[in-house]
Structure 1
Amino acid sequence: MDAIERAGGQSALATKLTKTAKESISHARVWNWINRGKKAPAELCPLIERVTGVACERLRPDVDWAYLRSTVASELTQPIPSATPKEASHG
């Protein structure tokens, strides 16, 4: 897996992911992705991409990343509902 090489090894990737993820990613979990034929979870691929530079499309070619990226992009460009302005009371 290119991401592991770019990160500096399995432990280094696990450490980098743990520092930026909302959960602890163990060395054993990364090992399983490689040695037990398991794939990195799709939800972690954007994080792996961020810390290693290896595109999600290379990590999980079975996921329709173009669709997911466009969906997220359209959600990010939706206007934010304006808050109701608080009335200032000047006594």
Structure 2
Amino acid sequence: MRMGETALGETRETTSACLGRVLRGLRLAVGLDQAVLAAELDVTAEEIDAFERGVSEPPLITLGEMAELFDVPFTVLLEAVFGEGEAA
């Protein structure tokens, strides 16, 4: 069994990948490119790219700043990290 597969051979999305997918979708929905978002958050565009690809996860403070910029409740992003129902 390879990493990311269940016993039945199904591929699971990692927590980081799930969060990255959500972050990318929200960024695109508000019309920001990675460089502009990076400048707003005082991080590099490379860090934004890594967050979105699921290579790394942003610190909670950065996640909170993203929620504000995307105008979504912080819990939306927490649910992407911990799963629905576990963030509360």
TM-score for both structures, normalised by structure 2:
0.52
Answer yes or no: is the 8 Å Cα contact 1:49–1:55 preserved in 2. Answer: yes
* 1:71 alignment counterpart: none
* 2:50 alignment counterpart: 32
* 2:18 alignment counterpart: none
Structure 2 counterpart of 1:58, from 54, 76, 88: 76
Deviations 1:21-51 (A, max 9, x none): xxxx110011000124433322212111112
What is the CA-CA distance between 1:12 and the residue it aligns to? 1.4
Structure 1 counterpart of 2:36, from 12, 17, 23: 12
* 1:2 alignment counterpart: 25
TM-score for both structures, normalised by structure 1:
0.51
Greater gyration radius? 1
* 1:45 alignment counterpart: 63
What is the CA-CA distance between 1:7 and the residue it aligns to? 5.0
Structure having greater relative contact order (Cα 8 Å, sep ≥ 6): 2
RMSD, aligned α-carbons: 2.4
Which runs of at least 4 in structure 1 moved beyond 6 Å after TM superposition? none
Structure 1 Cα separation of the partners of residues 63 and 51 of structure 2: 12
Aligned length: 60
Structure 2 Cα separation of the partners of residues 56 and 13 of structure 1: 17
